Amino acid sequence: MTAILTRGTSTDHLGALESEAVHIVREVVAEFDRPVLLFSGGKDSAVLLHVALRAFHPAPLPFPLLHVDTGHNFPEVIAYRDRLVAELGLRLYVAAVQEWIGDGRLTERPDGTRNPLQTVPLLDTITEHRFDAVFGGARRDEDRARAKERIVSLRDAFGGWDPRRQRPELWSLYNGRHTAGEHVRVFPLSNWTELDVWHYIARRDVPIPGIYYAHEREVFARDGMWLTAGEWGGPRRGERLLTKSVRYRTVGDASCTGAVESTAATIDEVLAEVAASRITERGATRADDRLSEAAMEDRKREGYF
Amino acid sequence: MAAPMPRPCEQVSRLLRLTTAGSVDDGKSTLVGRLLHDTQSILADQLAAVDRATRARGGVELDLALLTDGLRAEREQGITIDVAYRYFATPTRKFVLADCPGHVQYTRNTVTGASTAELAVVLVDARNGLVEQTRRHLAVAAFLRVPHLVLAVNKMDLVDFDEPTFRRIESEFAVVARSLGVRDVVSVPVSALHGDNVAARSGRSTWYRGPTLLEHLEAVPTGREAVAEPMRFPVQLVLRPRTPEYPDYRGLAGRIASGVLEVGDDVIALPSGGRSTVTGIDTPDGPVLRATAGQSVTVLLADEIDAGRGEVLAHPAQAPRVVTELNADLCWLADRPLRAGARVLVKHGTRTVRAIVTELTGRLDLHTLLHTEPPTALELNEIGGARIRLAEPLAVDSYATDRHTGGFLVIDATDGNTLAAGLVGPDPARNTA
Ligand SMILES: Nc1nc2c(ncn2[C@@H]2O[C@H](COP(=O)(O)OP(=O)(O)O)[C@@H](O)[C@H]2O)c(=O)[nH]1
């Protein structure tokens, strides 16, 4: 392999965002004892994992992954997750919401949605394994509460986020000091936008689950979204199943994550569609975020991702 | 390995980090909303939500200020409590905007926003001109050495786009800026509410020949300053894979804080003092011959010198100074005041050391950027000089010569909170700062 003077793409905005994220991931690994990376199988966690692998290349990834599993999965996403873990020789912990429901630590919600139920298994697992730094793929452009989130964000023993207690974050000096029982959430992709994430997936050929690309699927309409037919609550009486060409913009609890009609089957087509899109990804496809104007803020305060 | 081909719809653009400051009601939220709106960074559902909120408050025209509305407590109380980050882009540039509230805890927020900004937009209301707050905002930007300043004279529609009004404010601002040592100032007459000279040139200010605000944001040079500075490479950690494929690999992982590093360069590791030669610079895409400020890379050296986390690599002829005592300015960010004798932690680059604040040497007057008499305590949001004794040496630069390696955090050793932003003072061994 011959060295080249400077690589063309390393100093443009995407290169700058990647360098910033790599710096953050390395800082946390250097200063914390037990980091873990939240891995949902969604595109943001796929990009975060990719950045982390690059941060330590050619050494192996120095921390495990944690999947908080709602049980309402797209089979394609689980298959993708398991393939990736096997190919890269990663360590994966799974915290299954079903287990918490099974032994009574959690009760199923009347609406059957499980995204909000992820918080307790997440916090219990953090405590059990004494994780002190939890990487997440959240971005500040996603939501107004997230816009105020720090890159390294302190959480109390209850996982709670107190916007008034946030430490000022100056220069690129991250203060992750914490006392026993506290941990930090770390968001290396804070300054990325949805479009940046897609550009990065294209540039680096980041593997993502196939459901992000257009495919034929049996869906039914509810609350202005296309939901997939499955064992969880759908379709109900009066909701008609149709076969459509759709793709997903986010993957979460399959019972409340909607698909958008699309024919974008390649990364370049997806990029073009995202660039032209006039609706934010959460607004389009996540019923849980449409519950109230402050939905995300409330969940963050309770210890959500 | 060949460099990846650019994709058809991928534009090569640069990143500019900026911050905004203005006193309450000067129209800062409206301006930020206007920038987001006019660069099409606001999507349909967000616009619909703002439209609903506008109507709920009895408004008719879209209230752009609501676009940047924050947390519920803030909405309920009609105040902003914290820095929020906003993102917008044009075909040639991507912007990260630190949106800083203008009041409560104001220095704390503006200092935070300004610490990473390459450009600051300072807002004034054309009807009021420069006010006390404007001078403070300007002083904070000057103090943190934000390289580019923009004065946005807002609400020009309320003064009928009167040129003399604009010129008067412009020259008053220029005088203050000059007295604070700020050179690069551009003034733009705008109406954030109606969009004049923000993204689109106004037909109502034909006398104005300068750039629109957005044109200026797109044109201002970025990152150049950091590349021209002496090279600094704070080592974050040592990568030792010990895999069959890489049995003896030992790479220093880090991000180039400033300057340019090339293969073949002689380097010194400080504070330890070991010397070696760069034999390789690795990236996940393969080796490179040269890396510049801002890039995260892995550096390979000819010798196994003591250069782990906490060391800084530099060129021997342009090395940082190694000190066990700091003369610094502190911007105090904690509720509990600082007094001489305080035991703290100092976090600088990739090294954290124990320290004692031995003396408060003065309080900074934000009007003049001069120090007054030594105070007995430094209160929340005050800036003052201090002498700090370090338990272990640090390799530092003056903040005035390198923004990237001249800043540090003061941390509470007990609860871990960030107490102050620190700026390393001039080198006492040199006459010029
Ligand atoms: N006429 C006029 N009013 C403006 C302009 N910019 C902002 N305003 C109004 O000034 C008030 C304060 O604006 P806002 O953006 O909330 O100020 P902030 O406190 O600095 O964020 C609001 O009523 C705005 O509609 C402008 O350019 N022209």
Three-state helix/strand/coil letters over B178-218: HHCCCCCEEEEECECCCCECCCECCCCCCCCCCCCHHHHHH
pLDDT at position B8 over 50 = no
Query: Residue A248, exposed/middle/buried by CB under 10 A (0-12, 13-18, 19+)?
Result: buried
* β-pair partners for B407: B423
Instruction: Give the pLDDT confidence of B317-338 residue by residue, as tens digits.
Output: 999 999 999 999 999 999 999 9
pLDDT at position A290 over 50 = no
Instruction: Give the pLDDT confidence of A67-83 residue by residue, as tens digits.
Output: 999 888 888 999 999 99
pLDDT at position B6 over 70 = no
Among candidates B73, B295, B415 on the partner chain, residue whose Cβ is nearest the Cβ of A10: B295
> How far away is chain B from the Cα of A231, in angstroms, using its nearest Cα?
30
- Tell me the C-alpha distance between B118 and B91, whole Å: 19
Q: Of chain B residues 408-427, which have a CB less than 8 A from chain A?
A: 408-409, 411, 415-418, 421
A15 versus A251: the higher-pLDDT residue is A15
Using a pLDDT cut of 70, give the percent of chain A over it.
86
Taking CB atoms and an 8 Å limit, are A191 and B249 in contact across chains? Answer: no
pLDDT at position B285 over 90 = no
Given a contact cutoff of 8 angstroms between Cβ atoms, the answer to whether B279 and B302 are in contact is yes
> How far away is chain A from the Cα of B254, in angstroms, using its nearest Cα?
7
Atom of ligand 1 nearest to the CA of B190: 27
Among candidates A168, A275, A283 on the partner chain, residue whose Cβ is nearest the Cβ of B112: A168
The complex scores an ipTM of 0.91
Name which of A154-158, A285-289, B126-130 the model is least confident about.
A285-289
pLDDT at position B284 over 50 = yes
Confidence at A1, pLDDT banded by 50, 70, 90? very low
Residues of B in contact with A148 (CB under 8 A): 70-71, 82-85
Q: Which of B162, B156, B189 is nearest to B173 (CA)?
A: B189
User: What pLDDT was estimated at residue A56?
Assistant: 97
- Tell me the C-alpha distance between B338 and B352, whole Å: 19
pLDDT at position B300 over 60 = yes
Q: Which of B233, B389, B350, B204 is nearest to B299 (CA)?
A: B233
- Tell me the C-alpha distance between B148 and A300, whole Å: 36
Confidence at A170, pLDDT banded by 50, 70, 90? very high
Name which of A213-222, B99-108, B219-228 the model is least confident about.
B99-108
Taking the centre of ligand 1 as the mean of its atom positions, its distance from the CA of residue B26, in whole angstroms, is 6
Angle between helix A267-276 and A194-204 (nearest 10): 160
Mutation for A interface: B29, B71, B281, most A CBs within 10 A: B71
Query: The tokens of A4 are what?
Result: 């080249």
Most confident of A46-50, B92-96, B245-249: A46-50
pLDDT at position B362 over 90 = yes
> How far away is chain B from the Cα of A100, in angstroms, using its nearest Cα?
31
Q: Of chain B residues 113-142, which have a CB less than 8 A from chain A?
A: 115-116
- Tell me the C-alpha distance between A168 and B194, whole Å: 34
Taking the centre of ligand 1 as the mean of its atom positions, its distance from the CA of residue B125, in whole angstroms, is 9
Q: Which residues make Cβ contacts (< 8 Å) with residue B347, sequence separation at least 6?
A: A173, A175, B408, B409, B411
Amino acid at residue number A256: C
User: What pLDDT was estimated at residue A294?
Assistant: 53
Query: The tokens of B407 are what?
Result: 């800043």
Given a contact cutoff of 8 angstroms between Cβ atoms, the answer to whether B231 and B260 are in contact is yes
Chain A interface includes B222 (CB < 8 A): no
Confidence at A130, pLDDT banded by 50, 70, 90? very high
- pTM equals 0.91
pLDDT, mean of residues B388-408 = 95
Instruction: Give the pLDDT confidence of B28-58 residue by residue, as tens digits.
Output: 989 999 999 898 887 666 667 777 777 777 7
Pocket of ligand 1 (CB under 6 A): B 22, 24-30, 65, 154-155, 157-158, 191-193
Q: Which residues make Cβ contacts (< 8 Å) with residue B379, sequence separation at least 6?
A: B332, B337
Which helix (H) or strand (E) covers residue A228, if one does?
A: strand A225-228
